[in-house]
């Protein structure tokens, strides 16, 4: 199919409450489905939160008991993949018949169960969990609370509407990570994020024109009242403005032009109709892994083994 309709859900988490986050996600999935969308995208760490402003009581060389209790809460509100929460989300997705991509915090069940990952999960239109991508490199203080993914979770999925895949937030600043996605033939490039600075939008346009792909960038719109009131380490949150994350979700075509310009200051679903033939039109003069690749000069090696 050369055309599809996409929905980018700009909404905020109910911070540290996975039940409320899932209920909110289901509401937006069904709302987007009513518009006969083919692909639905949610922000980074939508369930149970991107914990902006929270230090978990940690400074260099010291951690607090109350911070450990906040982390315990964060861990308990993170989800197992696959698990009962993904089944609940999948049931909502099945009602829409749309491919759906959701940013979550995943609780590891493969080893000790003690590590959390910033993860993107993918559902097929039948509600089936297709797979996941774990963020390769948590940024800054994110490294305190999230583990690192590996090359075994860098999927690109074939759909009737083109090949879809995802890199999360500042992974999109990693040139070789982008190159790996281009090499897999990504056509609808999904970029869940927590970055709403003006420089982010220039990067989304660059990725679209570099990869000759559509870019769906999805951020939260989050206000201070979305935080649960009984958190223990709140000093950082109290210092933040009422509008904690301003949004800035956008949709870009393969020539780097905005189909939907960044939206600020509200929760909203952004819709756009994509013409996949625009990708071939863009390849006329530039194909980053084809006639413009110079593979006689450059090589990319990706370790896809599970670590």
Q: Which pTM value belongs to this model?
A: 0.95
Tokens coding 169: 């937030």
Supply the pLDDT for residue 259: 98
Measured CA to CA, the distance from residue 91 to residue 71 in angstroms comes to 29
Supply the pLDDT for residue 96: 97
How many percent of the chain have pLDDT more than 70?
100
Residue 41 predicted with pLDDT over 90: yes
Measured CA to CA, the distance from residue 16 to residue 265 in angstroms comes to 22
Residue 1 predicted with pLDDT over 90: no
Supply the pLDDT for residue 240: 82
- The pLDDT tens digits of the residues spanning 149-200 come to 999 999 999 999 999 999 999 999 999 999 999 999 999 999 999 999 999 9
- The pLDDT tens digits of the residues spanning 58-89 come to 888 999 999 899 999 999 999 999 999 999 99
Tokens coding 165: 């895949």
Tokens coding 3: 């055309």
Measured CA to CA, the distance from residue 175 to residue 207 in angstroms comes to 10
Measured CA to CA, the distance from residue 53 to residue 145 in angstroms comes to 13
Q: Where does the pLDDT of residue 54 fall: very low under 50, low under 70, confident under 90, or very high at 90 and above?
A: confident
Measured CA to CA, the distance from residue 177 to residue 110 in angstroms comes to 24
DSSP for 43-62, written as a single string: -TT-BS---TT--TTEETTE
Residue 282 predicted with pLDDT over 80: yes
Residue 241 predicted with pLDDT over 90: no
Q: What is the average per-residue pLDDT within 263-274?
A: 98
Question: In 3D, which of 49, 13, 244 has the Cα closest to residue 145?
Answer: 49
Residue 57 predicted with pLDDT over 80: yes
Backbone angles phi, psi at 15, to 5 degrees: -60, 125
Domain 3-283 CATH (choose: 3.40.50.720, 3.60.110.10, 3.10.20.600, 1.10.3720.10): 3.60.110.10
List the single range of 52-66, 107-121, 140-154, 225-239 with lowest mean pLDDT.
225-239
- The pLDDT tens digits of the residues spanning 15-28 come to 999 999 999 999 99
Question: In 3D, which of 245, 179, 293, 302 has the Cα closest to residue 11?
Answer: 245
Q: Which residues are catalytically annotated? A: 44, 135, 169
Measured CA to CA, the distance from residue 296 to residue 81 in angstroms comes to 40
Supply the pLDDT for residue 228: 78
Strands (E), the chain: 3-10, 39-41, 58-59, 62-63, 99-107, 116-123, 129-134, 156-159, 162-166, 188-192, 214-218, 221-223, 243-252, 258-264, 268-275
Backbone angles phi, psi at 219, to 5 degrees: -125, 165
Helix (H) or strand (E) holding 94: helix 84-96
């Amino acid at each position: 199919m050369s055309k599809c309709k996409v929905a980018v859900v700009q909404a905020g988490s109910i911070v540290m409450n996975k039940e409320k986050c899932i209920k909110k996600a289901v509401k937006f999935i069904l709302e987007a489905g009513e518009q006969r969308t083919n692909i639905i995208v949610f922000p980074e760490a939508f369930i149970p939160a991107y914990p902006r402003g929270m230090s978990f009581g940690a400074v260099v060389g010291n951690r607090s008991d109350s911070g450990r209790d906040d982390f315990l809460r964060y861990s308990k509100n993170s989800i197992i993949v696959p698990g009962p929460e993904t089944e609940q989300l999948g049931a909502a997705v099945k009602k829409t018949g749309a491919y759906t991509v959701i940013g979550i915090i995943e609780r590891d069940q493969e080893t000790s169960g003690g590590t959390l990952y910033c993860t993107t999960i993918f559902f097929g239109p039948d509600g089936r969990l297709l797979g996941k991508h774990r963020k390769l490199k948590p940024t800054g203080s994110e490294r305190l609370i999230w583990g690192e993914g590996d090359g075994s979770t860098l999927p690109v999925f074939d759909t009737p509407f083109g090949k879809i895949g995802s890199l999360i937030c500042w992974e999109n600043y990693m040139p070789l990570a982008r190159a790996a996605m281009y090499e897999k033939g990504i056509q609808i490039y999904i970029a869940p994020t927590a970055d709403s600075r003006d420089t982010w939008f220039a990067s989304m346009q660059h990725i679209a024109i570099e990869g000759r792909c559509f870019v769906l960038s999805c951020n939260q719109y989050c206000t201070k009242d979305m935080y649960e009131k009984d958190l223990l380490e709140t000093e950082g949150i109290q210092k933040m403005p009422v509008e904690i994350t301003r949004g800035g979700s956008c949709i870009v075509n393969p020539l780097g032009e905005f189909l939907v310009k960044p939206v600020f200051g509200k929760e909203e679903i952004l819709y756009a109709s994509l013409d996949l033939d625009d990708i071939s039109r863009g390849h006329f003069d530039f194909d980053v892994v084809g006639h413009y690749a110079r593979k006689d000069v450059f090589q990319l090696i990706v370790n896809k083994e599970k670590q």
